[in-house]
Structure 1
């Protein structure tokens, strides 16, 4: 009889199994997916390493000079080599503000998607597995929310929070308010998708067997049903990340987002928009291009993931 340790050594590792999976095969055959992944990873790395790679600290008043305001990009006449993409009205380096602004945009995007995903999955599991009046109440709330655009719901929640916190305290809780307002406007997609998947899975043999051996409903939902409905949830989360970043940028552009002292990409676009027609186009164009590339890359990655996890397209 062969030694057990020898048999284990011959088993493929996790990395080998991942490289041999259908998902990796689809990824390696999709140039758009690979390019999008590289772009997203580079943007996230640049945002995380902003304090190390940014040429200047745009939020340190000691390093700012009003004499450096409205400098064009370095390759144009009047540009300064110290400021590759030019400066804004306060003399801040546009490249540095973009790097720091991406940190806030990505942080709000990821946090709001995680919040919406947790809330939507929880309510979707309850609605699909419990049924009855629980299902009716949750789904009617979802139906009502679907009649309003996500940006209007986010604006409503943001406005209520601003009125309750007051103008002095709002800036301290603006990050949490943005996450809650965006997350609460996106949970419906997760809830309805998970509910539909749970209704299909609830009558399968493995769920019936779990009920027969006496497992509690919550244990069945989390340990047995949830892993089988995560595929569509991951696709929605990837696409919603781009929507969350754009929604945050929209709120900031409308003046209800993060304060100008610590701007996100949307705030930078709003600040630059005031000087767009006076000739200082670089203040708003470069943050706008960054936001567009980031959102497009995440969307392309989500489209690939949707097709890769669709068994009908394999």
Structure 2
């Protein structure tokens, strides 16, 4: 009698491993996180597709009509045009301005967070691995920066950068200056967290083995230590994204953010608050609600990710 042929288990796909992971199980068991991710995905998708789904181009002067100004939501203007969320004082469709403004807010927030993460992780790795003088200098700079509010540091950096940029180029460079200012004001949290994790990892046997084999310190940091400190970095980056979006909105609300020709949600809120007490509440209300939903959904995802990646909280 022939013996049965041996069976070989096929390797599972990446998608199957993700769906079977503890992190995805935690995600499915958290209705708040699921709702927050759906809201965030919807806002991001709407912002990315703004040129395709926006009813109007609110920043094209040729398409604006002052006779459409101050139109209430769900009503027709004096010119017979219908606006779902109403119009502002210039006759711009509020829904379209929110879609285009969300693109600017998300671009600035994501870019500033990536810049802060790259800078903070790099400095944290070198501070934790090298120690001594390198560690002391980097951490003292981080400690000094953390004693000041991030918005104050961003205002200082933004003002300094605007002072050295020629006036003719200030408007075109405003978004990049804003990204630089916000990112440079938020790197310290990444550096402190990565530095602590690196100091723990560098004492382990696999790092000692890599040193004995003659692996370059930079390769040890990139290939061996960095993958083991990405968990806390992802949590800080997620929460930092919400803070960066709020910080950009605050700077734009104060009038030192992006120019009026490419306004963000903060600029729309600054414009809307001028008409709040005159009865045109929708000019402020809808951009403010969008900003709250955006920041809240990112924060909720960050809180879930922090708990999901914490092995002490796993059952």
Give TM-score, length-normalised by structure 2.
0.95
Unaligned runs of 5+ in 2: none
Correspondence 1:155 to 2:155: yes
Q: Within 2, Cα distance between the matches of 1:278 and 1:248? A: 27
CA contact (8 A) 1:307 1:313 kept: yes
CA contact (8 A) 1:117 1:187 kept: yes
CA contact (8 A) 1:72 1:78 kept: no
Matched length: 312
Correspondence 1:308 to 2:313: no
Counterpart position of 1:226: 226
Q: How does 1:118-267 map to 2 (within 5 A)?
A: 118-267=118-267
CA contact (8 A) 1:74 1:81 kept: no
Q: Within 2, Cα distance between the matches of 1:77 and 1:56? A: 14
The superposition leaves residues 95-134 of structure 1 with CA deviations (integer Å, 9 ceiling, x where unpaired) of 0000000000000000000000000000000000011111
Offset at residue 81 of structure 1 (A): 5.9
Counterpart position of 1:27: 27
Change (3 A) 1:2 1:104: farther
CA contact (8 A) 1:128 1:196 kept: yes
Offset at residue 166 of structure 1 (A): 4.0
Q: Within 2, Cα distance between the matches of 1:163 and 1:15? A: 50
Q: Within 2, Cα distance between the matches of 1:60 and 1:159? A: 29
Give TM-score, length-normalised by structure 1.
0.96
The superposition leaves residues 30-68 of structure 1 with CA deviations (integer Å, 9 ceiling, x where unpaired) of 001111111111100000000000000001111100111
Structure 1 runs, 4 residues or longer, greater than 3 Å off? 1-4, 75-81
Change (3 A) 1:79 1:189: farther
CA RMSD of aligned residues (A): 1.9
Correspondence 1:296 to 2:303: no
Q: Within 1, Cα distance between the matches of 2:225 and 2:5? A: 37
CA contact (8 A) 1:71 1:80 kept: no
Larger displacement relative to structure 2 (39-48 or 160-169): 160-169
Unaligned runs of 5+ in 1: none
Correspondence 1:16 to 2:23: no
SS at match of 1:72: coil
Larger displacement relative to structure 2 (59-68 or 162-171): 162-171
Offset at residue 260 of structure 1 (A): 1.1
SS at match of 2:83: coil
Q: Between Structure 1 and Structure 2, which shows a larger proportion of helix residues?
A: 1
